[in-house]
Amino acid sequence: HYHEQNPTYIQDILVLDACYSGHFTRNNINRDLGKAWAAFKKSKDEIIVTGKWGCGVFGEDLIFKFL
């Protein structure tokens, strides 16, 4: 009943790493897009929250990751 009363209850956690450098190279862009697609493709009707994926210690660009 907890899930019915609290719809934001976390059921699954996906973990994705990010690149430390070369964020805008074609290979790393394709790597990140492929990784996100593989992680999210099974979540057709689920809400996915990524936070600021890769924008902390990995130094990614927040606007780039948002797009």
Residues 6+ apart with CB under 8 A from 12: 46
Read off the pLDDT of residues 29-64 as tens digits, 9 standing for 90 and up: 899 889 888 888 877 777 777 777 777 777 777 877
pLDDT of residue 14: 77
The 3-state secondary structure of the chain, one letter per residue = CHHHHCCCCCCCCCCCCCCCCCCCCHHHHHHHHHHHHHHHCCCCCCCCCCCCCCCCCCCCCHHHHHC
Q: Which has more pLDDT, 2 or 29?
A: 29
**Which residue in this structure is represented by tokens 């809400």?**
47
Q: What are phi and psi of 26, to 5 degrees?
A: -55, -45
